[in-house]
Amino acid sequence: MYVFQKGSLMKYVICHTKGGVGKTTSAVHLAAHLAEDGPTLLIDADPQETAATWAAWRHDNEAAKGKPTLTTVRLRGKAVLDEGKALAQNYKHTVIDAGGRDNAGLRNAFLLADLAIVPTGASGFDAAAMTDLLEVHEVAADYNPELRLKMLLTRIDLRTKDDQEMLKFLQEYKLEVLTSRVCERVTFRRATTQGLTIEEIGKDTRAIEEMAAFYREVKA
């Protein structure tokens, strides 16, 4: 069993109250990347259990053999905080995939995490859904004042300027936005449905560069 000093532990929640924003894709990629740096726990707190499904596919995929292992657990509701807090003491990194809608799992993930990363698309629907998430975060901040919130623009269509409009919207709310951008790419679907990451597929250099920029900012 690994035991780390308190100061060396880091807990991330990847979350949104809206589906289809690349939340789970971001979570599993970040977890796989962090596993290269030390023991990493992936908590699936989303009732759809997509992250846990990815982990099961990964376990069965020969292409993932020899890669740093991830411990994956499914937790719901208050267990995300109570059990997650105890489990996280044994890992250098903890990544929580939470949300899809406002529920007890998301609220407890906010109480557990040090950093909340919010993937968001650039449509009007994404902007409308943001207010719901910010209300949840505002309540959580009363109990976890150290929680930081960072926005990640994802599933960007390079043919439009929608990301710039969303950026202005987020800045109006005085939200911290990562400079890295993740575009809509088929390679993400191909990788995740095999339990792999785009780095392990290795065919889309632009996607790999985008994720590398994301990882650097998260760890900065």
- Would you list the domain boundaries of the chain? 6-219
| Tens digits of residue pLDDT in 91-146 | 999 999 997 788 999 999 999 999 999 999 888 788 888 888 899 999 999 999 99
Split at pLDDT 50, 70, 90, the class of 8 is low
The letter for the amino acid at 164 is Q
User: How do beta strands 40-44 and 93-99 pair?
Assistant: parallel
Mean per-residue pLDDT over the chain, rounded: 91
Query: Is the pLDDT at 36 greater than 80, yes or no?
Result: yes
What is the rounded average pLDDT of the residues 12-25? 92
Give the distance from CA 61 to its chain's centroid: 22
Angle at 44 between CA 43 and CA 47, to 5 degrees: 155
What is the rounded average pLDDT of the residues 4-32? 86
User: Minimal CA–CA distance to 42: which of 82, 12, 17, 65?
Assistant: 12
**Least confident piece of the model among 49-58, 77-86, 124-133:** 124-133
pTM recorded for the entire structure: 0.92
Topology given in CATH for the domain delimited by 6-219: Rossmann fold (3.40.50)
User: Minimal CA–CA distance to 101: which of 159, 25, 10, 20?
Assistant: 20
DSSP-derived letter for residue 42 is: E
Percentage of residues in the chain having pLDDT higher than 90:
73
Number of H helices, E strands in the chain: 9, 7
User: Cα separation of 57 and 70, whole Å?
Assistant: 12
User: Minimal CA–CA distance to 83: which of 99, 103, 105?
Assistant: 105
User: Cα separation of 102 and 100, whole Å?
Assistant: 7
- pLDDT at 2 (0 to 100): 46
Contact between residue 43 and residue 97 where contact means Cβ atoms under 8 Å apart: yes
Surface-to-core class of residue 68, CB atoms within 10 Å of its CB (0-12 exposed, 13-18 middle, 19+ buried): middle
